Amino acid sequence: MRADRLLALLMLLQTQGRLSARRLAAELEVSERTIYRDIDALSIAGIPVYGESGPAGGFALLDSYRTSLTGLSSGEVRALFMLTIPAPLAELGISQELRAALLKVAAALPGDHREDAQQVRQRLFVDSVGWEYGEEGVPFLHIIYEAVWQDRRLLIAYQVGPLGIAIEQEVEPYGLVAKAGLWYLVYARRGDIRVIRVSALRAARPLAEPFTRPVAFDLARFWADWASQQAERRSAYAVEVRVSPRLMPQLAWHFGQRVQEQIRQAGPADAAGWVTLQLHFDSLEAARSRILDFGADIEVLAPPALRASVQDFARQILRVYGGVGGRI
């Protein structure tokens, strides 16, 4: 509807400042001619929008102009106030600012929408902390957040390798990503963009020197590509296993939907109901740990190194629990 498009156009100009007709057309997925007609409609309605020509020109609103919040729907109000939920915002140290901002937004809402905002807190709560591992210590998160926001270089320190060799580097912090309750820093060093878990840092200190963020860098797109590469890398270790009829119906629950393809490709069950298929892990150690979780309901057939490692751990378990020695 044109009314929705006009409101979207107004919000774009208010939140992003001066924008060209081409940029507005791309954002709203209409032609530039339609944008010009919409700008005229806003002007006729009394909205103080003006245009400037030239390479740096475009359309903008007078600095003093602000819209009210009467255009928000009930669904949009609920979505907005869900921002109060995630724990990562508290870890960034901005929960108080967010709460204050949302209180001001609530005060500006029409009366019939204020109840929608209140009901969010009564009907939805997200606990982002895992059951097993709890929260990670991220003492430098707020320092990193400020450096990211201000485009200031960071001096970070972390340890690598089994010997814990200390590494100190000056980096350009491009952004922070929260995934499954964990924080990751996306940074650049000598033109190479990298990722490090914030909890792995032993120190972080902002430097006075600023840096110029690449205009073309898109944090969400970079993370999607990086995460996809990590998922492929984590599945590089192929394991052939036999799965018991008791475990087979639960396999997708334990290993996720990605195992469905392996289940479809598996051959028929043997006379005892066991199914042979292939699972993927990121390493021998990770495969051994998961496979041992299932006890006698899964058997490693290949690779031989993993089968031998599982056998060795089984012998150790027998010794701990007073089992009788013998071949496994």
Instruction: Kindly give the confidence (pLDDT) of every residue in the chain, 328 residues in length, as a single tens digit, with 9 standing for 90 and above.
Output: 577 788 888 878 876 778 999 999 988 889 999 999 999 988 888 888 888 887 778 998 887 666 666 667 777 777 777 765 556 666 777 666 777 777 677 766 766 676 777 777 677 766 666 665 555 678 888 899 999 999 999 999 998 876 778 899 999 999 999 887 788 999 999 989 999 999 889 999 999 999 999 989 999 999 999 988 887 777 778 899 999 999 988 888 887 767 777 888 888 889 999 999 988 888 898 899 989 999 899 999 999 999 999 999 989 988 888 765 545 4
141-224 topology per CATH: SH3 type barrels. (2.30.30)
Each residue of 262-284: b (16+ CB within 10 Å) or e?
A: beeeeeeeeeeebbebebbbeee
Cα gap 77→241, rounded to integer Å: 50
* 157-166, long-range: CB < 8 A, 24+ apart: 157/201, 157/202, 157/203, 157/204, 158/196, 158/200, 158/201, 158/202, 159/200, 159/202, 166/202
Q: How far is CA 256 from CA 87, 234, 238, 288, 312, in A?
A: 25, 14, 16, 18, 28
Is the Cβ–Cβ distance between 44 and 101 less than 8 Å?
no
User: What is residue 194's predicted lDDT score, i.e. its pLDDT?
Assistant: 95
CB 77 within 8 A of CB 116: yes
Residue type, 88: P
pTM for the predicted model, two decimal places: 0.58
Amino acid code (one letter) for 150: Q
Domain locations in the chain?
Answer: 2-61, 74-123, 141-224, 237-320
Amino acid 217: pLDDT: 93
- The CATH number, out of the four listed (1.10.10.10, 3.40.47.10, 3.40.720.10, 1.10.3720.10), of the domain defined by the range 2-61: 1.10.10.10
Q: Rounded to the nearest 10 degrees, how much is the dihedral formed by the CA atoms of 280, 242, 250, 327?
A: -100
Assess contact for 89 and 126: CB atoms under 8 A.
no
Three-state DSSP at 2 gives helix
The phi-psi region of residue 324 (left if phi > 0; otherwise alpha if psi is between -120 and 50; otherwise beta) is beta
Rounded Cα distance between 254 and 290, Å, is: 10
Q: d(Cα 172, Cα 28) in Å, to the nearest integer?
A: 33
Residues, the chain, total? 328
pLDDT at 203 (0 to 100): 94
pLDDT of residue 129: 65
DSSP state at residue 139: T
Strand partners, 49: 61
Give which of 204, 145, 202 is closest to 174, Cα–Cα. 145
Give the three-class secondary structure for 215: coil
Residue 237 is predicted with a pLDDT of: 86
Closest CA to 276 of 306, 304, 245, 250: 245
Amino acid identity for residue 128 in this structure: S
